[in-house]
Amino acid sequence: MIVSLVGLPGSGKTTVGRQLARRLQLPFQDSDQVIEVRIGIPIRTYFEQHGEAPFRDLEEQVIAELVAGPSCVLSTGGGVVLRTNNRHALHRSGPVVYLKSNPDELYRRLRHDQSRPLLQVADPLGKMRDLFAVRDPLYRETAHFVMETGRPSVATLVNMIVMQLELAGTPAK
């Protein structure tokens, strides 16, 4: 079983994913970390040197490999849903959880983070709002469950996800 997490940059996919993996006693995979290991440089550097399209090609290849692999909790990059193949592969591979975050809250959380290439622009809050407008429908299309990340702690979010998996009849440990 692959349990995938999708959402905007900074929505908690990696943090929640690690805790969820521990709770479900599954390995944790982060597609961005897999990509960075493969290319040997930070994604931001790759973006700057090669552009977004080659990155998305590589991301699509990595997603296909990860969803075909052994059971795990999979944290994905924020833009993974931009490719139809990724949306379908994730949706078919097991439960997908959309960690839905308010763009204004994400901006407050990420405004000093230099590692996120898409936010290195003159108006990062406007960019975050634009990303939300484009990606929210794609996250919803991909996901089996939508979890609001506004108030709950990480532990509470993990509990809510586990309850949703159990209610859906997905074997959660």
Per residue in 102-148, pLDDT tens? Answer: 999 888 877 777 666 666 778 888 988 999 999 999 999 999 999 99
**0.85 surpassed by pTM:** yes
For residue 83 the two structure tokens come to: 């490719």
Q: Is 127 annotated in some ligand binding site? A: no
Q: Is 18 annotated in some ligand binding site? A: no
Q: Is 116 annotated in some ligand binding site? A: yes
pLDDT in tens, 59-107: 999 999 999 999 999 999 999 999 999 999 999 999 999 999 999 988 8
Amino acid sitting at position 76: T
What is the model's pLDDT at position 73?
98
Q: Is 56 annotated in some ligand binding site? A: yes
Q: Is 156 annotated in some ligand binding site? A: no
Residue 162 binned pLDDT confidence (cut-offs 50, 70, 90): very high
CATH code given to domain 2-167: 3.40.50.300
DSSP 8-state class, residue 149: -
In angstroms, the CA 18 to CA 15 distance is 5
For residue 146 the two structure tokens come to: 């939508």
Q: Is 51 annotated in some ligand binding site? A: no
DSSP 8-state class, residue 152: -
The answer to whether the CB of 65 falls within 8 A of the CB of 89 is no
In angstroms, the CA 21 to CA 1 distance is 12
CB neighbourhood size of 63 (10 A): 25
Domain ranges of the chain: 2-167
In angstroms, the CA 13 to CA 31 distance is 11
Q: Is 104 annotated in some ligand binding site? A: no
Give CA separation, 168 vs 31, 96, 142, 159, 172, in Å.
Answer: 25, 12, 16, 14, 10
